[in-house]
Amino acid sequence: MNIIAILALFGLPWLLLKNCSRVKIIDWLSPVVCCYGAGIILGNVLGDLWPSKISMEISEIAIMLSLPLLLFSTDLLGWFRLAKTTIISFVIVCLSVCVMSLLAGKIFHGKSDEVWKIAGMMVGVYTGGTPNLTAIGKALAVKDETFIIMNAVDVVMGGIYLFFIMSVGVKILTKILPKFKYSSDHQEETIVEAGWVTLSLKTKFIRFFQQIILSGLCVGVAVGLTLLITKEMSVSVIILLLTTCAIGFSFIPKIRNLEGSQEWGNYFLLVFCVAIGSMASLKNMSNASLWYFGFMGLVMVGSLFLHFLCCFFLKIDRDTAIITSIAGIFGPAFVPPMAQVLKNREMLVSGVTTGLVGYAVGNFLGIGVAYLLK
């Protein structure tokens, strides 16, 4: 059963990614949601036969490898050289989420002994994305059931906002915020594709091992320094040091431009999703209260209101405000479709980079807010 479990945990994400473009339901729900669902089905159908210990160990390994891989391609210095309004808008996104998470934590503090952890995870997911939510959840030792419920509610809330902003939201903000000022020659910026798909199989294997070694080195450094500083295996310290180490490597151009880091980072994130889903008990999840929706709704709606209100007073243009909001809440993957809706390709590079920066800062902000509430 252990061997079957390992094959399932590593095989299912590969199958889902392989068929994402072919099967509409996978593309519509997203591989992340499908992996959570597959894990939940596996764990609950097999019940006591499923080796939860194996799932726990693989989930920890997967998230530790995923974080550095996702962060290696971050061009932090390049982002600071972007238009001032992009940086200001994203800073407002981060501050708005932090303020509303702290407020929601105070309001719902009596609902659960994990409210302070949930607030921290909300900061992470709405400034960076799912990788931050998972990393902060691990760092703060959130219960598996809580983690799954939060992801389920986040999918619902996120879907509502995405549908709103891509439809009537753009039209409403067009009447409130200034127009985007294009560059003088109005040339369209394009994202430099990594070229992962065009690489030979041999080169892909070489890149894979290079990145796994680098990611493993980051984990080793983070664990070693944590033991040296705290004299114990403090997961929160490990996550922060791991993030710092990975960002440090991203300053090296050869590492930052290695093909496949995003692809492999997303793959290991999906392995984590299947593993953590398999440990969630549907029986325990069914007993969850609706206050989760109230908590996450307050954080999302409140932070969006603060963000767009500040953009109005600071006269930040519509496209910058929307793209930085999408980059913070959904991550860089949702920037291109949003840029297409706005018919503004000049925001592609800055939007994707902002999403990657969100990966980098989300863990620090989330864990910081959590411990402030605690």
pLDDT tens profile 55-82 = 888 888 888 888 788 788 777 776 676 6
Q: Which of 162-166, 179-183, 278-282, 368-372 has the lowest mean pLDDT?
A: 278-282
> How much is the pLDDT for 73?
79
Decide which of 313 and 151 is more confident. 313
Token output for 157: 């809330």
> How much is the pLDDT for 353?
78
* Rounded distance between C-alpha atoms, residue 335 and residue 347, angstroms: 9
Q: Which of 360, 371, 369, 373 is nearest to 135 (CA)?
A: 360
Q: Helices (DSSP H) in 140-200: which residue ranges?
A: 144-164, 170-176
Indicate the pLDDT class of residue 288, thresholds 50, 70 and 90: low
Q: Is residue 75 part of a domain?
A: yes
> How much is the pLDDT for 217?
93
Q: Is residue 342 part of a domain?
A: yes
* Rounded distance between C-alpha atoms, residue 129 and residue 330, angstroms: 5
* Rounded distance between C-alpha atoms, residue 118 and residue 150, angstroms: 8
Q: Which of 165, 93, 195 is nearest to 337 (CA)?
A: 165
Percent of the chain residues past pLDDT 90, beyond the cut: 24
Is pLDDT above 60 for 190?
Answer: no
Q: Which domain holds residue 312?
A: 2-179+198-373
- According to DSSP, residue 169 is labeled I
Model confidence pLDDT, tens digit, residues 21-64: 788 777 776 777 788 788 888 888 887 788 888 888 888 888 88
> How much is the pLDDT for 313?
95
Model confidence pLDDT, tens digit, residues 229-286: 888 777 667 877 887 888 888 888 888 888 878 788 888 888 888 887 787 666 655 6
Indicate the pLDDT class of residue 123, thresholds 50, 70 and 90: very high
Contacts of 222 (CB under 8 A, 6+ apart): 238, 239, 241, 242, 245
Q: Is residue 185 part of a domain?
A: no
> How much is the pLDDT for 352?
74
> How much is the pLDDT for 40?
83
Q: Is residue 188 part of a domain?
A: no
Q: Is residue 187 part of a domain?
A: no
Average predicted confidence (pLDDT) for the chain: 83
Is pLDDT above 70 for 184?
Answer: no
Number of domains in the chain: 1
The model carries a pTM of: 0.68
Q: Is residue 284 part of a domain?
A: yes
> How much is the pLDDT for 183?
57
Q: Is residue 362 part of a domain?
A: yes
Is pLDDT above 50 for 189?
Answer: no
Q: Is residue 229 part of a domain?
A: yes
Decide which of 90 and 269 is more confident. 90
Element (H, E) at 35: helix 31-46
* Rounded distance between C-alpha atoms, residue 229 and residue 234, angstroms: 10
Q: How far is CA 347 from the centre of its chain?
A: 20
